[in-house]
Amino acid sequence: MKSETSGVNTLDVEVTNISPFGIWLCLKDSEYFLPYEDYPWFKNARISQIFNVVFQTPHHLYWPELDVDLSEDSLKNPEKYHLTAK
Q: What is the pLDDT of residue 79?
A: 83
Identify whether 2 is part of a domain: no
CB–CB of 23/34 below 8 Å?
yes
Instruction: Please write the tens of the pLDDT for every residue from 68-80.
Output: 999 999 988 888 8
- pLDDT band, very low/low/confident/very high, at 8 (cuts 50, 70, 90): very low
**Does residue 7 belong to any structural domain of this protein?**
no
- The domain tally of the chain equals 1
Would residue 41 count as lying in a domain? yes
C-alpha 1/C-alpha 52 separation (Å) is 39
What is the per-residue pLDDT for 57? 86
Its pTM stands at: 0.78
Q: How confident is the model at residue 64 (pLDDT cuts 50, 70, 90)?
A: very high
CATH at 58:
3.30.2020
Residue 38 DSSP class: T
How far is Cα of residue 54 from the mean position of the Cα atoms in its chain?
Answer: 9
The SS3 of residue 71 is strand
Q: 35 lies in which domain range?
A: 13-80
Q: What are 60's strand-pairing partners?
A: 57, 71
Q: How far apart are CA 17 and CA 22, in angstroms?
A: 9
Q: Does a structural domain hold residue 6? A: no
48 domain-assigned: yes
Mean pLDDT over 25-43 rounds to 92
Residue 85 falls inside a structural domain: no
